Structure 1
Amino acid sequence: MALPNLHALEDCADFTKVVQPFIPQFYDLPARLLDVFAGRENFLQLYAETNPLISGFALSLALGAVFLVVAEINRNYSQVDRCWSLLPTLYIAHFDAWARLHGMPSQRIDAALIFSTIWSIRLTRNYWRKGGYNVGSEDYRWEIVRRNVPKAVFHVFNWTFISFLQSILLFLIAAPVYTVLLASTIEPDLTSADVAAMAVNLGLVLTEYIADEEQWAYQSAKKLYKDTGKATGGYERADLDRGFITSGLWGYSRHPNFAAEQSIWFVLYQWSCYATRTLYNWAGVGPSFLILLFQGSTWLTELITAGKYPEYVEYQRSVGMFTPKALSAYKTPGPKAPQIIRTSELAKRQQEKEKQQKQK
């Protein structure tokens, strides 16, 4: 049996009913895969008979091992980064394919796959144009972390977090679709709430796209300014001398793209909660861990940025990290007014100085 026999929507989110009974399949999977390689079992049959959550999780572990080996061989630790924009959509497509293979209603999963595919296209394009897929390209933050921790510690960090935990995370943020799949066995039709959730996530993807384009335009103008001394793209010299963007969405949030990214997967989780008529469920582990991950990575990013650009500290004080602090956009602080010192104050200071000298 690959799926539990459920009669209530609330049961679709019950860990003890929809996950725990299938854990033994995970332990049996290596032996069954060996049978497939030996020709004693058909792969499609194995795929159909294995719970889709278990097979998806097993794939994330296998990919983690691949990421680890490739990272250690190449001494390049952005292997997961190269697949980040693709894997969540791959896992959602896996749930969709599994449902179709069994003739199950898939309209609600199709809706999740539509927004996720558009999300993947946007993120993959942005990562590609920034050179992320170039040979030898690596997230600059990994190099900084490597320089500041012992070599052995960094390798343990790679063996655990960078390769495996990040790979598992990319599966877990897509895992809420499993509960939607189960709910579809009871409530198969696409509802207005499903359409609303998809629309919200498409709006968040659009927000990411706008933030990406604003950042790309600024960085392109900044590079040209460094090369030629010409301010282009509608930016003033002062804007480019500042070193970081503060216009558009970036005038209200220091990381509008990060804010939208976290919201996308939280909305998917809330979608699963609505589908199962629960306030919360086990599928929130992935989005919660993603939010925690963004807190740490954003802190490191800002620590580096504040060390490069003097005005960034003022920007941090005025603009929220993810959510706006004010209705008005950020404005570069003007020059400080000169301090006026009265003649009487100068005389008083001189008297105090002479008094101190006499006491010595």
Structure 2
Amino acid sequence: MAPLPLPDIVSYLRAGITPALRWPVKFCAYTTATSWILSLITGNVSQVDRIWTFMPTIYTAYFALLPLWPSEAPLPLYPNTPKDVYPGVAERYSPRALLMLGLVTVWMFRLSYNTWRRGLFNLHDEDYRWAIVRQQIPTWLFQVTNFVFIAVIQNIILFLLGLPTHVAAFQQPSQLSASDYVLATLALIDIACEFVADNQQYSFQTYKHSGVLNKNDWPGARIAWTPEDAKRGFITRGLWAWTRHPNFFCEQSFWAIITLFPLLAPESPQLPTHPLNDPTSLWPLAPSIVLCSLFVASTRFSESISAKKYPAYEAYQQRVAMFVPFLTPVWGVWLRLLGKKEQVDAVVFARTEKEARKLE
């Protein structure tokens, strides 16, 4: 059989994409190509990091605001709602999708603020881990990694984070349900906890490098850091006494909550024939599963670097759970049974046994 000519291949691929996904897929392709080309021009592979803070909001906004967009795009890459999209979706806003957009927008402001104050929007800044990866693998393999993982896969993940709102937009509820209110409350609590974790880390790093306590820290981050904390090199107080990565735990939890909005809703999707709109399929779980997989792999690599840099980090790994804070008391009990708890607590927290017992 003769191969299809290129125009036919493009038409075939386009036919497999539902109308409401055409613009997001095109936008994802353009951002992927742009971030990869910029990484080659600048020699800085952290281009995706700079757009991570707002890309999920763009995809979420597109799906939540489908009735707003014109049927024909007046400019290249301008969002549009194709004429062949499901009529109800193009005519009525989904209150659930709008609620999800509001939550994702709040998430965006928190992450953008933390990224800005750390100076990561600087075009010359690059994730410190990529310099280490460059030293460990050949140049050609690093460039393959840059294209496949950094540019393509990460942009696909950002696209996937908008899919729960795509499902919610097709559910077309007349009003919000009890599950929406519960999940929205949990999402806001999650964002607040992540904000506190960010502020505690920023406060600690500021003290570590300056040796001066900042009295103007955000509430929840006004911790009386000590020279012992700075000497240890990494934070083990506040939320960080319960989980080694409270910000990562909250980040994964937030997107898991967003994923649950359409899954726990009482309405059935308007288009159950497509897997993206069918809550009984595994597709709606893809965003949170893929994101969690990324965080687990990335965190393990980061911790391997920290363990080599800080002598006490191995004890911290034994004492405090990586993500789930509820496991930390379990590790404390286990270390007590092994007769190592006092020794580990002294290394990790530099506190007395009475003070450390409060963590259990």
TM value normalised by structure 2: 0.74
> Does residue 332 in structure 1 map to residue 336 in structure 2?
no
Residue 280 of structure 1: CA displacement? 5.1
State which of 224, 244, 251 in structure 1 corresponds to 2:241: 251
In structure 2, what is the Cα distance between the partners aligned to 1:139 and 1:75? 12
State which drifts further: 116-125 or 266-275.
266-275
The aligned residue for residue 36 of structure 2 is: 68
Q: What's the CA shift for 1:281? A: 3.3
The more displaced of 257-266 and 93-102 is: 93-102
Report the residue type matching 2:94 in the other structure: S
Match of 2:230 among 229, 240, 243: 240
Corresponding position of 2:127: 139
Query: Any stretches of 5+ residues in structure 1 without a counterpart?
Result: 1-22, 30-49, 227-231, 336-360
Would the aligned equivalents of 1:86 and 1:120 in 2 still touch at CA under 8 Å? yes
C-alpha contact (below 8 Å) 1:67/1:163 kept by paired residues: yes
The alignment's C-alpha RMSD in Å is: 2.5
Deviations, residues 44-85 of structure 1 (Å, cap 9, x unaligned):
xxxxxx722232122111110001100011010010000001
**AA in 2 matched with 1:267:** I
Q: 1:284 to 1:149 in 2, by over 3 A?
A: same
Q: Percent same amino acid at aligned positions?
A: 33
Instruction: Please give the per-residue CA displacement for 1:164-205, whole angstroms capped at 9, x wherever unaligned.
Output: 110111010121111111111xx3322221122122111111
DSSP 3-state at the match of 1:77: coil
1:230-282 Cα distance to aligned partner (Å, 9 max, x none): xx961121111000000010000000100111111111112121235645531
TM-score by length of 1: 0.74
Q: Given residue 289 of structure 1, which amino acid in structure 2 is its aligned partner?
A: V
With over 3 angstroms needed to count, the CA separation of the structure-2 counterparts of 1:202 and 1:279, relative to structure 1, is farther
- Looking at structure 1, the residues matched to 13 and 24 of structure 2 have their Cα atoms a distance apart, in angstroms, of 10
What is the distance in 1 between the residues matched to 2:128 and 2:39? 15
Is 1:264 aligned to residue 278 of structure 2?
Answer: no
Residue identity matched to 1:202: L
List per-residue Cα deviations over 1:15-72 (Å, max 9, x = no partner).
xxxxxxxx9685279xxxxxxxxxxxxxxxxxxxx72223212211111000110001
Once the two structures are TM-superposed, the CA of residue 96 in structure 1 deviates from its matched residue by 1.9
1:121 equivalent among 109, 117, 122: 109
Q: Secondary structure at the match of 2:211?
A: helix
Check the 8 A contact 2:66/2:93 in 1, yes or no: no
Structure 1's 100 and 194: CA in aligned 2 closer, same or farther, altered over 3 A? Answer: farther
Structure 1 counterpart of 2:355: none
CA distance in 1, matches of 2:151, 2:102: 28
Of structures 1 and 2, the one scoring higher in RCO (CA 8 A, sep 6+) is 1
SS in 2 for 1:326: helix
CA contact (8 A) 2:28 2:159 kept: yes
**Equivalent residues of 2:35, 2:48 under 8 A apart:** yes
CA distance in 1 between counterparts of 2:139 and 2:309 reads 26
- Compare 125-134 and 276-285 and name the one that shifted more: 276-285
Counterpart-to-counterpart distance in 2, 1:279 and 1:265:
19
> What's the CA shift for 1:86?
0.2
Stretch of structure 1 that moved more, 323-332 or 291-300: 323-332
Q: 1:206, 1:317 → 2: CA distance?
A: 27
What residue number does 1:210 align with?
196
Q: Is the 8 A contact 2:57 2:101 kept in 1?
A: yes
1:265 is paired with a residue whose SS is helix
Q: Name the structure 1 match of 2:48.
A: 80
CA distance in 2, matches of 1:188, 1:26: 34
Query: Are 2:14 and 1:27 equivalent residues in the alignment?
Result: yes
Distance 1:25 1:274, change over 3 A: farther
Give the direction of change, closer, same or farther, for the CA distance of 1:25–1:118 in structure 2 (3 Å limit).
Answer: farther
> Which of 26, 30, 42 is equivalent to 1:58?
26
Q: Matched residues in 1 for 2:285 and 2:15: separation?
A: 27
The structure-2 alpha-carbon separation of the partners of 1:258 and 1:104, relative to structure 1 and needing over 3 Å to count, comes to: same
Q: What are the within-5 Å matches in structure 2 for residues 1-360 of structure 1?
A: 27=14, 51-101=19-69, 102-184=90-172, 187-225=173-211, 234-275=224-265, 278=279, 281-324=282-325, 325-327=327-329, 331-333=345-347
Query: 1:303 & 1:146 partners in 2: Cα distance?
Result: 16
Q: Deviations over 1:118-159 (max 9, x none)?
A: 100000110111110113100001111111111101111111
Taking the aligned partners of 1:82 and 1:25, their CA distance within structure 2 comes to 33
> Which of the two has higher C-alpha Rg?
1
Aligned length: 287
